[in-house]
Amino acid sequence: MSAFLVLGLVLFCYMTLWYVVSLAKRRNDVADVAWGLGFVLLSWVSYAMSGGSGPRGLIVCLLVSVWGIRLAWHIHGRNKGKAEDYRYLAWRKEWGRWFYLRSYLQVYLLQGALLFLIVLPVLVIQGNAGPALGPLDLAGAAVWLLGFYFEAAGDAQLARFIADPANKGKLMQRGLWAYTRHPNYFGEVTQWWGIWLLALSVPGGALAVIGPITITVLILKVSGIPLLEKKMAEHPDFAEYKRRVSVFFPWPRTGMTLPRMPSTTLGKLSVGLNALFVVSVSASVVLVKVLGLLSFDDHWWDATVGIAFPASLVGAILGIVAVARGRERATLVRASILIGACTFVFLLTHSLFISD
């Protein structure tokens, strides 16, 4: 029996189990909790079936686990003690006597099928050990980290805003929500594009692009942003908010300033060093993987690593010092710290698992 068929059967049983849970609890929004955990399940099952697919397979399992468990816990906490989510309540009324059948097919089995498509980059990685970790893996992890920041921070900012009684009746327009109307959705999509970048190093990884494309289309055109924007449109401040702020990509349209720039010397050095790192690694990936003009086996790459990677680590340390002193609050400095942390994890993993 093929690995994909086994994983499909595991997913079918998993979604059926959650359907039974929904019947017992009389609420279909438990499917939202099942969503993130389903990715975690398939990632680790496929990793176990591969017999341990090396550091790349372990890394994607850890990344997916952090994302999926955080998302499930966040949704569980958000729904706890409240009525069923308005979307599922509307379907309960709309579907009438066909509610239970349509719930099983449309909410659980269809969601399982979409989950399987989205997780394809992970499954491809688990099925092919691939070459040693390289710059493309670092780029993928950095993109994932950026997405995780937007999703986790966006959710946390919104939760604090809603919990404050003084904000009752107001529309969230602060923090990351001042730059995109859906920072959490932008973050979720970005994370899956980062996972796909990790898959590009293994055979068949490019074809797994169907994963990030699926989640992008779902959020932009189907069940994510369209449904939420329809509800947000009921708020009297939404029209102005919509005119002023980008719907998805974190960039204000009009009437707003750019993100706060570093104000301290340490902050500026931190951002500058990690900007050097990002440009160096990005240019290297393009020259090798896209244009095919150079090879990572050449001496130029050793020189690049010797300069860019220490610069990233030093930049992160300077950023931490600047923030710890309480004099630096620029978003770019925090981004520099995250990039440096990603670099550190990459170097640690590389030294533990890879040998010349």
- Residue 252: what are its φ and ψ, rounded to 5°? -70, 145
- The structure tokens listed for 123 are 């499954």
Instruction: Specify the long-range contacts of residues 81-86, CB closer than 8 Å, at least 24 apart.
Output: 84/27, 84/28, 84/29, 85/28, 85/29, 85/32, 86/231
- The structure tokens listed for 201 are 């190093």
Helix (H) or strand (E) segment spanning residue 279: helix 265-285
Q: What's the rounded mean pLDDT across residues 3-31?
A: 90
Q: Residue 354: its pLDDT value, please?
A: 46
Q: For 176-197, what is each residue's pLDDT tens digit?
A: 888 899 999 999 999 999 999 9
Q: For 132-174, what is each residue's pLDDT tens digit?
A: 888 888 888 888 988 999 999 999 999 999 888 988 888 888 8
Q: Residue 355: its pLDDT value, please?
A: 44
Q: For 55-89, what is each residue's pLDDT tens digit?
A: 888 999 999 999 999 999 998 888 888 888 777 88
Contact 38, 112 (CB under 8 A): yes
Boundaries of every domain in the chain: 1-129, 130-255, 265-353
Among left, alpha and beta (phi > 0; psi -120 to 50; other), residue 104 is alpha
> What's the rounded Cα separation, in Å, for the pair 310 and 305?
8
Q: Choose among 229, 219, 159: nearest CA to 186.
A: 219
Highest mean pLDDT among 114-123, 158-167, 302-311: 114-123
Is the pLDDT reported for residue 11 higher than 60? yes
- The structure tokens listed for 330 are 């620029």
> What's the rounded Cα separation, in Å, for the pair 272 and 279?
11
Q: Choose among 78, 63, 246, 214: nearest CA to 155.
A: 78
Q: Which string of DSSP letters, residue by residue, matches 111-143?
A: HHHHHHHHTHHHHHHHH---S---HHHHHHHHH
> What's the rounded Cα separation, in Å, for the pair 58 and 67?
14
Highest mean pLDDT among 7-21, 71-85, 282-296: 7-21
> What's the rounded Cα separation, in Å, for the pair 172 and 175?
9
Instruction: Give me the chain's average pLDDT, please.
Output: 85
> What's the rounded Cα separation, in Å, for the pair 337 and 327?
15
Q: Residue 201: its pLDDT value, please?
A: 84
Is the pLDDT reported for residue 252 higher than 70? no
Residue 9 binned pLDDT confidence (cut-offs 50, 70, 90) = very high
Measured on CA atoms in the order 266, 271, 277, 283, is the torsion positive or negative? negative
- Residue 247: what are its φ and ψ, rounded to 5°? -75, -35
Is the pLDDT reported for residue 310 higher than 70? yes
